[in-house]
Structure 1
Amino acid sequence: MRSPNFADAPLGLLDHHPNELRARHCHDDAFVAVVLEGGYQEAGDEGRFDVRPGDALIHHPFESHLDRVEAKGARVLVLGLPAELAATSHVRGRVGDPDALVRIAARDPRAAAAAFAEQFVATPDAALDWPDLLARDLCGHAPVRLGEWAERTGVRAETLSRGFRAAYGCTPKAFRADARARAALAAIRVGGEPLSDIAHRLHFTDQAHMTHAVARLSGATPGAWRRMVPDVKSIQDMADLGV
């Protein structure tokens, strides 16, 4: 299996060209994007957002999205994701003083990330149109039958896949596959749930199917990821011994 090609998100200031379109891409690192000037639309695994100066988007590891930049371009400050926000489900928010973050980042990127955590205020997610409602359902644990979904929501079945791809840069099937692989990877990394149980809970055909999906997304198998997870019992034993 070929290793995934991950997109870089270098820390610091990033300029997007006017009308730039960055096709759907995946980042293996977590980071924060704070909009300083201009604006763009981002559509990806966490939803679709129109962002302006003062807006901020949190990106978790192995998330994919596309970016559509406005005619006037955009300037963005990229920061590392502070640990206290690593598990948040709120990925869009506002910061009160983005210019202060720029000044701090020029001296100390880690301090800027900490300052971001203090400034960040989550804002409600609002679906822009039916593709966003479908994306939300595709990220759920229950399987989605596209024909039934189209009938229930009044979307023409023959336009469903095309319309979703126009908004998100991939088909509903591909989007669902990525969402399920990310959910599996998250479960693998945070605990000791048996891999076969994770595969069953997330509706993979079998554990081999999950292994392929996780490796395709991340470049490593579930077994490799599980070996990277600290042994919780060993950590507790060390704490009991005062190590």
Structure 2
Amino acid sequence: MPEPMTAMEPATLQRFTAATRLERHRHVTGYTAIVVSGGYVEAGDSGRFRLHAGSVVFHRAFESHANHFHATGAVVLNLPLPASVADLTAGLLRDVDAVVRLAEKDPRAAAELVASSRLGPVTGPGDWPDLLAAALRDNPSLGLGEWAEATGLAVETVARGFKRAYGVSPKRYRAEVRALQAWRRIPRSTLPLAQLALALGFSDQAHMTRDIVALTGRTPAALRRAAPRTDGQLDTRTARR
């Protein structure tokens, strides 16, 4: 079954109670999440992060993540995703209160302030599930058995431990990461779709089409016809199935 897909409002303030768990879910539009207070662990397509007051996570369109909130719960401010964030995934703000105050008047200006700020580092647990997730992002064709053998772990242990950490099996994580990479490459690549599919590790063009339709609801051909955007979004006026 596909994961729930939700759209974020231009600016929302969400409050999460202690020890809340949000199962892995997907957002149609990109957005910026800022932790105002409290904290949680987020495991998503960009990795796993320990987040607390001042932490920022930039979510691109169609990315998925799961959240496990601390005993204190959390208050999270969601803002638009600026085009200027480029390849940033997460960071730490020095003055979260200034962003919150600006967001009350102008959410987009607040988002741009975050993107232009010098962000400190945000880290994750850094254990073997994180190492596997990073390896799958770098090489979606990576064989799980090969990786497990190289790290001295049983394949069954890898499957169970990864799903416990990320809320999804390694195979599905790999498929969704590969589909995300294809979705981002297709509008900007001049390669025929069949060649691009092989270059990205799909077995053939039909395989790529199935995974991209499952992720976005749109075919690769429709994505290629759509005008590319620079903000992580899709021009739905021209992208039709």
Q: TM-score, normalised by structure 2?
A: 0.88
Paired residue for 2:92, among 68, 83, 94?
A: 94
State the 1:158 CA deviation: 2.5
State the 1:152 CA deviation: 1.1
C-alpha distance in 2 between matches for 1:142 and 1:178:
9
State the 1:170 CA deviation: 0.6
Matches within 5 A, 1:9-28: 9-10=8-9, 11-28=11-28
Give the counterpart letter for 2:68 in structure 1.
R
C-alpha distance in 1 between matches for 2:45 and 2:205:
23
Corresponding residue number in structure 1 for 2:56:
56
Greater mean alpha carbon deviation, residues 48-57 or residues 141-150 = 141-150
State the 1:141 CA deviation: 3.0
State the 1:156 CA deviation: 2.6
The structure with the larger Rg is 1
Percent of paired sites with the same residue = 43
Corresponding residue number in structure 2 for 1:168:
166
Corresponding residue number in structure 2 for 1:241:
none
State the 1:213 CA deviation: 0.6
C-alpha distance in 1 between matches for 2:118 and 2:217:
32
Stretches of structure 2 that go unaligned for 5 or more consecutive residues are: 229-241
Matches within 5 A, 1:139-178: 139-141=137-139, 143-178=141-176
C-alpha distance in 2 between matches for 1:6 and 1:82:
21
Contact 2:47 2:133 in 1 (8 A): yes
State the 1:4 CA deviation: 6.5
C-alpha distance in 2 between matches for 1:58 and 1:162:
28
1:197 aligns with 2:195: yes
Contact 2:42 2:50 in 1 (8 A): yes
Q: List 4+ stretches of structure 1 deviating above 6 A.
A: none
- With over 3 angstroms needed to count, the CA separation of the structure-2 counterparts of 1:122 and 1:226, relative to structure 1, is farther
Q: Per the alignment, in what secondary structure is the counterpart of residue 18 of structure 2? A: coil
Corresponding residue number in structure 1 for 2:185:
187
State the 1:202 CA deviation: 0.9
Q: CA RMSD in A?
A: 1.8
Matches within 5 A, 1:1-243: 5-10=4-9, 11-85=11-85, 87-88=86-87, 90-121=88-119, 123=121, 125=123, 128-141=126-139, 143-229=141-227
How many residues align? The count is 227
State the 1:81 CA deviation: 1.1
Question: Cα deviations across residues 156-215 of structure 1 (Å, max 9, x unaligned)?
Answer: 332110010000001000000000000100001333332112101011111111011100
C-alpha distance in 2 between matches for 1:67 and 1:3:
18
Q: TM-score, normalised by structure 1?
A: 0.88
Contact 1:43 1:67 in 2 (8 A): yes
Corresponding residue number in structure 1 for 2:233:
none
C-alpha distance in 2 between matches for 1:17 and 1:146:
36
